[in-house]
Amino acid sequence: MAPTDGSDADFLRHGALLTIDLGAIQENYRGLRARLRGAACAAVVKADGYGLGAAEVGPALARAGARDFFVALPCEGLALREALAGLEPAPRIFILNGFAAGLGTDFLAAGLIPVLNSLGQIAAWQDTARSAGAALPAAIHIDSGMSRLGLPPAELDALAGDPGRLDGLEPLLVMSHLACAEEAENPKNREQLDLFQAARARLPALPASFANSSGIFLGPGFHFDLARPGVALYGVNPTPGQPNPMAQVVRLQARILQIREIDAPTTVGYGAAFRAAGPTRIATVAAGYADGYLRSLSSCGTAFLAGIATPVVGRISMDLITLDVTQVPAERLHPGALVDLLQPGDGLDRLAEEAGTIGYEILTSLGRRYRRVYRSA
């Protein structure tokens, strides 16, 4: 376990400590699965496990019982297959972005399952099956209102009119994706549900997958056979506006490098964007926009020291953040002291709001320069 007093040599080589609680991810997985009352629960680990490291997060989720994984890209699927090697039975790995001719060898070698998003992708995967001389598994994605990926209405008509278009394949799943699931009252949710059910009725009977994290909280009508949570596993609130039912997974602590006392009219940082109005104590902290502490947090982010909120003043630099720590007792202020860049409790959502973004982007922006420590249950 890494020390957190900021004084050991390895930590001194880094500016900040990112602690990822794998036990909390497992707790979140089990909590979501319990809400499904019988439907299975997959785990979405695209974008390197939402920035937290799919090679660590994937196996932890498998230990918690996950057997179905979704990633966006074939390269992510190949890496995840290695990370999950040795599990029996081998977990299913679905590739959300679909299949392209030329990738048959990769998909077959790693046992990746494409989410087929168009008739063209279906035909290309059929060609691969023909060459392989075997029925190949696939998920079929129906566009129910996202207009992004999945079979559009005309292609659904064509498929429904000619089920032979699935010959040579072993369809495992029909799926769709919600556009507004985090807004429980949005009528779009019901519209998409109706469209998805109507589409299912026109296709061969298959297990169905519909709900992302927030979709799970829309109720059992949205659960079907397999839910696909991502962000809630990592601690982001899937029910914005209501208390966060998920356990916090990440802690981000950065070191104070230097403290100085300034007075009016001294300015802080690039662009002289902050000007002291009176005696002010400034702590300079070792993280910046190069670490994913978004520049939009300039003059509006909040960090925490000894439980006290300390506002970001001036612009976020590439490697540095300046905080107004005037309210913090002097004995807590010294080079090497650790500042929480995420509020204990609900930090991802709070920081996202301050930055004008969503917890997803805070997570997937978390930097590569942090010293990363994984804590197991």
Q: Are 177 and 222 in contact (CB under 8 A)?
A: no
230 binds ligand PLP per the rule CB under 6 A: yes
Q: How far is the CB of 358 from ligand PLP (least distance, A)?
A: 10
The phi and psi torsions of 153 (rounded to 5 degrees) equal -50, -45
**Which of 14, 33, 177, 223 is the binder for ligand PLP (CB under 6 A)?**
177
Hey, which bits of 1-111 come out as E strands? 16-21, 40-41, 43-44, 68-71, 92-95
Q: What angle do CA 302, 308, 314 make, to 5 degrees?
A: 35
Q: How far is the CB of 45 from ligand PLP (least distance, A)?
A: 10
**DSSP, residue by residue, 66-89:** --EEEESSHHHHHHHHHHTTT-SS
98 binds ligand PLP per the rule CB under 6 A: no
Q: Choose between 209 and 322: whose C-beta lies nearer to ligand PLP.
A: 209
Stretch near ligand PLP under the rule CB under 6 A, chosen from 77-85, 163-171, 189-197, 224-232: 224-232
Interhelix angle 153-161/119-132, nearest 10 degrees: 40
What b-and-e string marks burial along 46-69, b requiring 16 or more CB atoms within 10 Å of the CB? bbbbbbbbbebbbbbbbebebbbb
> How far lies 283's CA from each of 23, 183, 313, 319, 320, in Å?
33, 39, 10, 14, 10
**Which of 59, 114, 229, 269 is the binder for ligand PLP (CB under 6 A)?**
229
CA 67, CA 65: separation in Å to the nearest integer? 6
**Which of 189, 192, 213, 310 is the binder for ligand PLP (CB under 6 A)?**
213
Q: Which of 29, 188, 270, 374 is catalytic?
A: 270
Q: How far is the CB of 107 from ligand PLP (least distance, A)?
A: 18
Stretch near ligand PLP under the rule CB under 6 A, chosen from 82-90, 160-168, 225-233, 301-309: 225-233
Return the residue nearest ligand PLP (CB atom): 230
Q: Choose between 180 and 232: whose C-beta lies nearer to ligand PLP.
A: 232
Q: Which of 29, 46, 50, 289 is catalytic?
A: 46
**Which of 61, 64, 96, 124 is the binder for ligand PLP (CB under 6 A)?**
96
Q: Choose between 217 and 293: whose C-beta lies nearer to ligand PLP.
A: 217
270 is catalytic: yes
Q: In this structure, how many other beta carbons lie within 10 angstroms of the beta carbon of residue 43?
A: 30
Q: How far is the CB of 274 from ligand PLP (least distance, A)?
A: 35
Structure tokens at 22: 């794998």
Q: Choose between 67 and 371: whose C-beta lies nearer to ligand PLP.
A: 67
223 binds ligand PLP per the rule CB under 6 A: no
Structure tokens at 149: 């990926």
228 binds ligand PLP per the rule CB under 6 A: yes
Q: Are 373 and 18 in contact (CB under 8 A)?
A: yes
44 binds ligand PLP per the rule CB under 6 A: yes
Query: Which has the closest alpha carbon to 362: 287, 301, 292?
Result: 292
Q: Choose between 108 and 184: whose C-beta lies nearer to ligand PLP.
A: 184
Q: Taking the CA atoms of 60, 217, 200 and 157 in sequence, report the sign of the dihedral they define.
A: negative
Q: What angle do CA 127, 128, 130 make, to 5 degrees?
A: 65
Stretch near ligand PLP under the rule CB under 6 A, chosen from 117-125, 156-164, 222-230, 255-263: 222-230
92 binds ligand PLP per the rule CB under 6 A: no
Q: How far is the CB of 369 from ligand PLP (least distance, A)?
A: 25
Q: Choose between 100 and 273: whose C-beta lies nearer to ligand PLP.
A: 100
Report the amino acid identity of residue 289: Y
46 is catalytic: yes
**Which of 189, 212, 284, 298 is the binder for ligand PLP (CB under 6 A)?**
212
Q: Choose between 163 and 221: whose C-beta lies nearer to ligand PLP.
A: 221
**DSSP, residue by residue, 253-284:** EEEEEEEEEE-TT-EESGGG-EE-SSSEEEEE
231 binds ligand PLP per the rule CB under 6 A: yes
Q: Are 336 and 7 in contact (CB under 8 A)?
A: yes
Q: Which residues bind ligand PLP (CB under 6 A)?
A: 44, 46, 96, 177, 212-213, 228-232
Instruction: Point out the residues that are catalytic.
Output: 46, 270
